[in-house]
């Protein structure tokens, strides 16, 4: 009786199949993570753009209550847009609302809103 060492062809085929399934799962997951990171970067840039607008408006809010809009470009593409408005809360208090709209994926837009209240009674 001879004792041969090594793997059979069936064992090798099963091992290769298991390895391929694992590799495909990792590839799919890495593509999803890459898209999520890109979406997070776009979201962070646009929300920082909105927050900067809120801070600029807070400085002038007691003297100028004009609604408006502006656009952030990355190259020739629109990265985000801001639209702002003021609401009179009475007693010389104002609410500033900034709506920031940005592209999350092709032809899909998301809008986030920032609000702050400001008292002009001084």
Contacts of 97 (CB under 8 A, 6+ apart): 84, 85, 86, 87, 113, 114, 115
pLDDT at 4 exceeding the cut of 80: no
Q: Could you tell me how many residues make up the chain?
A: 122
Domain spans in the chain, listed from the N-terminal domain onward: 10-119
Whether pTM > 0.85 for this model: the answer is no
Q: What is the pLDDT of residues 45-101, one digit of tens each?
A: 999 999 999 999 988 888 888 999 999 998 998 999 999 999 999 888 999 999 999
Which residue is associated with the tokens 């979406």?
39
Could you tell me which CATH number the domain at 10-119 has?
Answer: 3.30.1300
DSSP string, 34-76: HHHHHHHHHHHHHHHHHHHHHHHHHHHTTT----EEEEEEETT
pLDDT at residue number 122: 67
């Amino acid at each position: 009786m001879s004792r041969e060492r090594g793997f059979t062809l069936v064992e090798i085929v099963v091992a290769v199949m298991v390895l391929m399934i694992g590799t495909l799962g990792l590839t799919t997951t890495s593509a999803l993570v890459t898209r999520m990171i890109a979406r997070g970067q776009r979201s962070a840039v646009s929300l920082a753009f909105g927050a900067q607008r809120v801070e600029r408006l807070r400085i002038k809010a007691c003297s100028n209550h004009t609604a408006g809009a502006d656009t952030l470009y990355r190259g020739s593409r629109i990265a985000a847009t801001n639209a702002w408005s003021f609401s009179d809360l009475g007693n010389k208090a104002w609410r500033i609302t900034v709506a920031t709209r940005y592209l999350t994926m092709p032809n899909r837009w998301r809008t986030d809103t920032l609000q702050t209240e400001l008292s002009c009674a001084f």
